[in-house]
Homo-oligomer: A and B are copies of this chain.
Amino acid sequence: MYLPSWLSQLYRGLSRPIRRTTQPIWGSLSRSLVLSSQRRNPEFSSFVVRTNTCGELRSSHLGQEVTLCGWIQYRRQNTFLVLRDFHGLVQVIIPQDESAASVRKILCEAPMESVVQVSGTVISRPAGQENPKMPTGEIEIKVKTAELLNACKKLPFEIKDFMKKTEALRLQYRYLDLRSFQMQYNLRLRSQMVMKMRDYLCNLHGFVDIETPTLFKRTPGGAKEFLVPSREPGKFYSLPQSPQQFKQLLMVGGLDRYFQVARCYRDEGSRPDRQPEFTQIDIEMSFVDQTGIQSLIEGLLQYSWPNDKDPVVVPFPSMTFAEALATYGTDKPDTRFGMKIIDISDVFRNTEIGFLQDALSKPHGTVKAICIPEGAVSEVLKFFSTRNLFANFIRESKRPELIRLMETQEEDVVLLMAGEHNKACSLLGKLRLECADLLETRGVVLRDPTLFSFLWVVDFPLFLPKEENPRELESAHHPFTAPHPSDIHLLYTEPEKVRSQHYDLVLNGNEIGGGSIRIHNAELQRYILATLLKEDVKLLSHILQALDYGAPPHGGIALGLDRLICLVTGSPSIRDVIAFPKSFRGHDLMSNTPDSIPPEELKPYHIQVSWPTDSKAAKAH
């Protein structure tokens, strides 16, 4: 296995693919940090005692006196050891002559993962002993002096085993996990990509990076907001889910173009692959429309996209919410593969099959289907255990029409669903993804891992019926979203039919961003909040007032950075692109967080713990 220098690619961008891996592959990570005219090469050894990084040494360094600092990765027969730093690995020859006894002692006795500093000369490896799989494989270090900077105690496990261990162990010893190639790569790629985003927004397009408070007021319906007790009895701050109000107020304040890499908080209890604190690229602009924001974001992603991936092609395709639901059964379609939902209601208009008849007779009743290519070969049918059952019900005469509509081939499987339009689509959408998973476990490549398929989903409904009381409305996204210009008249007659100026950005079936043009008219905002949503307007009086005092038309978007980097790096979880993530239960397993607090430390905040008294409450946690 041979890998080009991941670090020079990250920082300067040769267009070579980096293999995704979850195994430490330090041996083959780095290549010469060739100077690029595009970008200065960072000085990795400025201000410190080392002269070079381990991973950067090449034949071009032959004869140089170098000082290196790193961890002992490997030692063989007390003749050489492999030294590792963030940049890569280098082979160090342990001197065998009597005069170097003290150096020899240090290098032979230091336990694995100890930190040492060595000085010596870069020499050629003896002919035939070069290691072409190792970027530094042509050279080795002839050591003159060595110093043990810190000895490593015996690890509670072999580092190699550790990498295969449970995620709980990785999180408990996060500082060891961070030494792995994959974590180093993920965190550095994240840093570089965010830096390029900042460059694009700040230097190319005049955006202002503005920090907004995280100690704020609870927002209406903000049941998922963490609370922070203040020193005033009964008064609390909330940790907001986004800087939504502040970004809009900045537009009212004439800042024109705002962005922030914003820390956000959401308390959703235990949820897999969610974090109680997360980061979004938060953007707001004045005098902009939906197209403007979309072009901005397309340019942003294109500009910041890692050089080791295929370039991003713009503009991104766009699809209405209605179309996404009808075709993919979801508002975040994975458009890397087909298996689209087809409406086959017409085939069965006069059917004698009871349940189809029944479904079609109801409001919004439909018959929908997806075709799973080679589903029969891939034994998808076994999963559904309905093989050959339903097909018999369909009259011979209907079959050609169905085959034509579905473009079915030999050995394909057609899954059919009858029922209310939205529900039927939604269920088929889920089946579509499950079938894709099934097919891929059978070796069919449906979703090319090197493909990044962006999609805008637009024209969402502005309101949705409340789940607990479908006769009342709630915002589909948030109450500041502007209605679609064509639908404004419906606000006063059939508000449930109003589309919004909200847009979602979807990547490979994941929502990675969402935004909208906002309401800038105070009267409209008041009507929607008070009359349609029946919210407590007092909690938002500052926003309504701000809109009254010369708010410009404005709109924005937020990109979920953790999810985006997770997809870019092909990581199985967002925890792999966060330095110190919480477990799915919201715990920091390294430090045992959250933790008990002595009662006297609660006193200044005028709170006390309500210990659950009955078993039911105790069981709930």
Contact = CB atoms under 8 A, between A and B. Distances in A.
B610 A211 contact: no
A191 B187 contact: no
A97 to B, nearest CB: 28
A196 B53 CA distance: 25
A210 B228 contact: no
B287 A253 contact: no
Contacts of A550: 71, 113-115, 150-152
Interface in A217-273: 217-218, 223, 226-237, 239, 245-246, 249-250, 252-257, 263, 265, 267, 269
A553 B150 contact: yes
Contacts of A42: 202-206
A127 interface: no
Contacts of A58: none
Nearest to A277: B215
Contact of A232 (B226, B553, B588, B621): B621
A296 B217 contact: no
Nearest to A117: B287
Contacts of A227: 228-229, 597, 601-602, 605
B191 A594 contact: no
A42 B233 CA distance: 48
Contacts of A153: 522, 548-549
Interface in A17-67: 39-40, 42-44, 46-50
Nearest to A230: B594
Interface stretch (A176-184, A315-323, A462-470, A501-509): A176-184
A542 interface: yes
B231 A209 contact: no
Q: Which of A174, A256, A276 has the most CB of B within 10 A?
A: A256
Given A592-B217, A601-B223, A611-B234, A253 B191 contact: no
Contact of A208 (B49, B188, B204, B230): B188
A104 interface: no
Given A216-B588, A582-B215, A607 B608 contact: yes
A292 to B, nearest CB: 4
Contact of A610 (B228, B256, B578, B606): B606
A312 interface: no
A337 interface: no
Contacts of A269: 231
A345 interface: no
A174 B249 contact: yes
B250 A579 contact: yes
Contact of A211 (B39, B267, B279, B296): B279
Interface in A128-166: 149-153, 155
A61 B293 CA distance: 27
A533 interface: no
A176 B69 contact: no
A194 B293 CA distance: 25
A288 interface: yes
A596 interface: yes
A609 B612 CA distance: 16
A40 B232 CA distance: 50
Contact of A175 (B113, B249, B580): B249
A595 B232 CA distance: 9
A86 interface: yes
A587 to B, nearest CB: 9
A38 to B, nearest CB: 11
A202 B206 contact: no
B549 A43 contact: no
Given A195-B209, A233-B612, A609-B607, A152 B549 contact: yes
Contacts of A591: 216-217, 245, 542
B179 A253 contact: yes
Nearest to A211: B279
Nearest to A596: B234
Given A227-B602, A227-B605, A588-B216, A287 B69 contact: yes
Contact of A48 (B44, B212, B285): B285
Contacts of A592: 217, 542
Nearest to A269: B231
A520 interface: yes
Nearest to A612: B233
Contacts of A43: 204-206
A173 B253 CA distance: 10
Q: Which of A187, A521, A595, A596 has the most CB of B within 10 A?
A: A595
Given A209-B194, A228-B228, A580-B212, A609 B552 contact: no
B595 A235 contact: yes
Interface string A568-594: 000000000011101000101011111
Contact of A254 (B85, B256, B586): B85
A79 interface: no
A302 interface: no
A480 to B, nearest CB: 14
A208 B86 CA distance: 11
Nearest to A72: B550
Contacts of A124: none
- 5 tightest A-B contacts by CB? A178-B253, A42-B206, A152-B550, A47-B292, A235-B594
6 contacts: A213-B588, A214-B214, A216-B591, A218-B601, A232-B621, A233-B621
Given A113-B549, A152-B549, A178-B253, 5 more contacts: A155-B549, A191-B202, A249-B590, A603-B610, A608-B610
